[in-house]
A and B are shown apart, each in its own frame.
Chain A
Amino acid sequence: MRINETSVWQNGTGPDGDVVVSSRVRLARNLAGFPFVNRASAPQRHEVVRMVQGARWPDDLAQSLVWVNVQQATAIDRNILVERHLISKQFADGDLPRAVAISPDETLSVMVNEEDHLRIQVLRAGARLGDCFDAIEVLDRSLEQSLDFAFTSRWGFLTACPTNVGCGIRLSVMLHLPGLKLTNEIEKVRRAAKDMHLAVRGFYGEGSEVIGDFYQVSNQITLGRSEQDLFDHFAQFVVTSLVDYERTARGVLVRQSGTLVDDRVHRALGILRSARLLTADEAMKLLSRVRLGVCLGRVNDVDLATVHRLFLQVQPAHLKVLTQTEEQDAELRETRATLVRRALGGR
């Protein structure tokens, strides 16, 4: 893992990348015969890790997967994984036996002993849910050759939380929706999403806040519909509609308030190129505005890859490792501002 770079799915490229930052499909699975993680003893959790590690992985992955013992990992390493969206905050903060398997390109991670025994996620840049969907099915089929998953014909795949029972599948996209926010349409999106049984979350998923107009949208229903039905509806209707909606909003903004948009974008760029102290939240907020400017073609001397790299590098754990500083989070503001200023050609 090269932490001075984004992973391939985090670099802002990919289909519909102006709006869809990334796509993710996640499966929840539990091993038959073991209590769920919240009731499992430490030896049982160890055994679950051992069984998953020894499972039948597809040949290409079996040789290349990197296993991280999260229980023994340092706080900074765990936070690096959270910031790279490879493990959840909840998983990082636990203190019982748990591990994560990560593919070298970071497009796959399998958390063992999160809320469920297995939380498998496949990630891609842009609107590529289909690729995630196909890849995760291959992996699921391979793992079930050697692992017995808890399943009943009535409820499907059994999960610790009944909101995941059935298919155990969560399809999600990370969307950049500054247009809908600026045109005050975002609340309509939230209401519509609720009516359609979709969850709208923040930048780090469940329980996280919306930062920099990034919204993670995902299906909430996992029972009573097949994986394919859920996928078809989400990928072909929900995501397509939201992308169209955001682009329409951006178009309206540029036509009706072009100068206002330019001012907002270039003012943000000016601060990022000049500031001496920056919090992570402020940096994210300003970088989000620059991203809008880049996508609309209003900023020509900054590329999307740089913006995305900074989204990652301004996070506390990445910043600490990159600059090899021992500073506490609150003291990192100067270090952060210096890094951003240099990356964007400021003085």
Chain B
Amino acid sequence: MPSDRCDHCDKPAVVHELVIKNGTTLEVHLCEEHASAQGYVLPSHQPVHQLLTQFAVGAPAKSAAAKQKVVKACTTCGRTLAQIRETGLLGCADCYRTFEDGLQSLIERAQAGANFHIGRTPRGERDAAARHELRTRLVRELDEAVSAEQYERAAKLRDRIHQMKDAGDCEV
């Protein structure tokens, strides 16, 4: 019967081995500390909840085919592509990003092959485009002002560009 205590101390043994040396069989019982000291590699501790999860869901998928069976759901609303195909309805705006690959062919079929928007843009988008245009113009004018050695004008232009940056209006 194996000992439940370490051969070198009184701590519980975690390694139990039979070692055959010069024809003699020896039992080795080591605690965690002494096992590490003698070069045994111990498995890292695994949280209990992780074990339970693995038990509940079965072994982790190893093959590519098994991985594909994992159902992808929108992290925002929980809708799956299968549900979208079944109901014809997406659950939220983020579904368009989550399922972009699967949706593209579906949308192309519904929209006579079209797969991008041409048309009206809402205010926020228009404002962003206008800000981008303004910034481009200001940067160009700054460049011209510096070239023309108009330092006072250049300083004002620089301030204006930085104000836009501070306000988060554009990427500088």
Chain A residues within 8 Å of B, Cβ to Cβ: 30, 32, 34-36, 38-39, 115, 140-141, 144-145, 148-158, 160-163, 165-167, 197, 220-227, 229
Are A223 and B96 within 8 A (Cβ)? Answer: no
| Dominant secondary structure at the B interface | loop
Q: Which residues of B contact A225 (CB under 8 A)?
A: 114, 118-119
How far apart sit A153 and B118, CA to CA, in the bound complex (Å)?
Answer: 9
- Asked if B110 is an interface residue, CB under 8 A from chain A, the answer is yes
B90–A36 CB distance below 8 A: yes
- Please encode chain B, from 117 to 130, with 1 for each CB lying within 8 Å of some chain A CB and 0 for all others: 11111111100000
Could you list 28 examples of A-B contacts with CB < 8 Å? Answer: A30-B93, A34-B92, A35-B92, A36-B89, A36-B93, A39-B78, A39-B79, A140-B120, A144-B123, A148-B122, A148-B124, A152-B93, A153-B121, A155-B107, A155-B117, A162-B103, A163-B110, A165-B96, A165-B117, A166-B118, A167-B119, A221-B112, A221-B114, A223-B107, A223-B117, A224-B118, A226-B119, A226-B120
> Does B50 touch A at the CB level, under 8 Å?
no
Candidates A140, A153, A158, A197; contact of B93 at CB < 8 Å: A158
Q: Which residues of B contact A161 (CB under 8 A)?
A: 88-90
| CB neighbors of A among B62-120 (8 A) | 76-79, 87-93, 96-97, 103, 106-107, 110-120
Shortest distance in angstroms between A196's beta carbon and chain B's nearest beta carbon?
10
Cβ-neighbour of A155 out of B77, B79, B88, B116 (below 8 A): B116
Q: Tell me the nearest residue of chain A to B113, going by C-beta.
A: A224
A6 and B116 alpha carbons, distance in the complex (Å):
41
Residues B124 and A160 in contact, CB atoms below 8 Å apart: no
> How far, in whole Å, are A197 and B107 apart by their CA atoms in the complex?
14
Contacts of A166 in B (CB 8 A): 111, 114, 117-119
Number of CB contacts from chain A to chain B under 8 A: 113
> How far does the Cβ of B105 sit from chain A's closest Cβ, in whole Å?
11
Which residues of A have CB within 8 Å of B89? 36, 38, 115, 160-161
Closest Cβ–Cβ distance, residue B108 to chain A (whole Å): 9
- Inter-subunit contact B88/A224 (CB<8 Å): no
Question: Is there an interface contact between B107 and A151, defined as CB atoms closer than 8 Å?
Answer: no
Which chain B residues lie closer than 8 Å to A30 at the CB level? Answer: 93
Residue among A115, A140, A163, A229 having the largest count of chain B Cβ atoms under 10 Å: A163
Contact-residue size bin, chain B (C-beta under 8 Å from the other chain): 20 to 34
Instruction: Kindly report which residue of chain B lies nearest to residue A147, judged by CB atoms.
Output: B122
The 7 A-B pairs at the shortest CB distance, nearest first, are namely: A224-B114, A156-B117, A39-B91, A150-B93, A223-B111, A223-B114, A35-B92
* A36/B96 contact (C-beta < 8 A), A166-B111, A224-B114 known: no
Given A35-B76, A155-B96, A165-B107; A224-B91 close (CB under 8 Å)? no
* Cβ–Cβ < 8 Å partners of A152 in chain B: 93, 96-97, 117
Docked-complex contact A223 and B115, CB < 8 angstroms: yes
Interface residues of B in 39-68 (CB under 8 A from A): none
Chain A residues lying within 8 Å of B91, measured Cβ to Cβ, are 35-36, 38-39
Q: Which residues on the A side are within 8 Å of B120 (C-beta)?
A: 140, 157, 167, 226-227
In the complex, are the beta carbons of A158 and B118 less than 8 A apart?
no
Give the one of B77, B90, B103, B124 with max A CB within 10 A.
Answer: B90
